[in-house]
Amino acid sequence: MRITVLAGGIGGARFLLGLRELGHDVTVVGNTGDDVTMYGLRICPDLDTVVYTLGGGISNERGWGRENETFRVRDELAAYAEKSSSGSEPSWFGLGDLDIATHLLRTQGLRDGLPLSEVTRRLCQRWRPGVTVLPATDDPVETHVTLTDGRTVHFQEWWVRLHAAVPATRIELTGAAAATPAPGVLDALAAADVVILPPSNPVVSIGAILAVPGIAAALRSTDAPVIGLSPIVGGAPVRGMADACLAAIGVETTAYAVANHYGRRPAGLLDGWLVDDVDKDAADRLTEEGLPTRAVPLLMTDIEATAAMARAALDLATEVRR
Ligand code: GDP
Ligand code: CA
């Protein structure tokens, strides 16, 4: 089967590890809203998380960046910032030494005029993720966050530096209006047998991908069933601060509310929804209200558990297709 998955960083990447076990032809549409330029280097955290995770190079402990990483360059930059006026860029961003090699190659490729999709394809020649990885768009987009104190900051500053502790009132993908889906993205959605929204952040990962004009419409119009998995379990994110993102767009942090936020096709995006066993009540209620929803274990504790989640998503796809 041809399966297309919209993915953010950790949640998307870990889900893909399980899905890959099932041996299908998988295309990933990756989030580029987290992308940022630092020290002149273009950094694509979510694409890198997917590629490193599937390529076996991720730090499992941190969930982002490389294993056996060192941070000597970052520390050296911090020493400059402390002792001279040359420190203009932030030191809170985790720029690892091995990771920098990826950013150097990406930046050089972009500067040579290659689109991000082509640069990503070349990076994948080394990592061999076993899936096709496409950025949602080749155009430069960035998620910006407006805070309750009136400031508007790059998503990375809110997330990494402020730990999302200052509430947000608005989250926006800047550059989206002028962006178009990267080559292959719309085809991958139209030609898929199943489309999956993995347990990625509904706002800054999935939401940012959907903000690229044409992608949400392609989800609504594909013949493939669209199945989502809840990143919210028992009223909280399994990892990270998705609750702060959901609050910013006025959505409660529950599996039920996220399903309603995505909505049911054709007006919304979903044909089926998976929640964790602890949210069985939400499954019953959503199913009653017209969105086929199943309660299954949704914790990606290991590859087998994650593969079982992917299988449950494909089973639900078969069920709702009939
Ligand atoms: P990020 O870009 O690195 O933040 O990663 P994603 O957007 O792809 O995924 C983040 C989301 O994954 C968070 O909202 C988590 O709640 C969710 N998540 C992480 N681990 C699990 C898990 O084991 N099960 C489920 N259901 N969600 C998870
Ligand atoms: Ca991310």
% residues pLDDT > 90 (the chain): 93
> Taking the CA atoms of the chain, what radius of gyration do you get in angstroms?
19
Instruction: Examine the pLDDT at 105 and tell me if it is beyond 70.
Output: yes
Q: Identify which of 77, 197, 178, 100 has the alpha carbon closest to the alpha carbon of residue 137.
A: 178
Residues forming a β-bridge with 43? 36
Question: Which atom of ligand 1 approaches the CA of 12 most closely?
Answer: 8
Q: Identify which of 16, 108, 81 has the alpha carbon closest to the alpha carbon of residue 54.
A: 16
Instruction: Examine the pLDDT at 92 and tell me if it is beyond 90.
Output: no
Instruction: Tell me what the mean pLDDT of segment 84-90 comes to.
Output: 71
CA of 257 to the centre of ligand 2 (A): 21
Stretch among 71-85, 150-164, 208-222 having the lowest mean pLDDT? 71-85
Q: Please provide the average confidence, as pLDDT, over all residues in the chain.
A: 96
Tens-place pLDDT, residues 224-269? 999 999 999 999 999 999 999 999 999 999 999 999 999 999 999 9
Give the model's pLDDT for residue 81: 84
Give the model's pLDDT for residue 88: 65
Question: Which atom of ligand 1 approaches the CA of 31 most closely?
Answer: 2
Instruction: Examine the pLDDT at 26 and tell me if it is beyond 90.
Output: yes
Which residue segment(s) compose the domain that 234 sits in? 1-322
Give the model's pLDDT for residue 85: 75
81 or 231: which carries more pLDDT confidence? 231
- Nearest residue CA, atom 4 of ligand 1? 9
Close Cβ partners of 294 (under 8 Å, ≥ 6 residues apart): 272, 273, 274, 275, 283, 312, 316
Q: Which of 10, 156, 233, 293 to mutate to test the pocket of ligand 1 (most atoms within 8 A of CB)?
A: 10
Do the beta carbons of residue 238 and residue 211 sit within 8 Å? no
- Nearest residue CA, atom 24 of ligand 1? 299
Binding site membership of 240 for ligand 1 (Cβ less than 6 Å): yes
How many degrees, rounded to 5, is the angle at CA 193 between CA 190 and CA 194?
A: 95
Q: Identify which of 150, 174, 165 has the alpha carbon closest to the alpha carbon of residue 247.
A: 165
Going from the C-alpha of 19 to that of each of 218, 239, 240, 294, the distances in angstroms are 22, 20, 22, 18
Quote the CA–CA distance of 57 and 215 in Å, as a whole number: 30
Q: How far is CA 320 from the centre of its chain?
A: 25
Instruction: Examine the pLDDT at 161 and tell me if it is beyond 70.
Output: yes
Provide the CATH number for the domain around residue 73: 3.40.50.10680
Helix axes 45-55, 116-127, angle to 10 degrees: 20
Quote the CA–CA distance of 298 and 274 in Å, as a whole number: 8
Binding site membership of 33 for ligand 1 (Cβ less than 6 Å): no
Binding site membership of 297 for ligand 1 (Cβ less than 6 Å): no
Binding site membership of 228 for ligand 1 (Cβ less than 6 Å): no
Binding site membership of 175 for ligand 1 (Cβ less than 6 Å): no
CA of 64 to the centre of ligand 2 (A): 10
Give the model's pLDDT for residue 87: 63
Task: Domain count for the chain, please give it.
Answer: 1
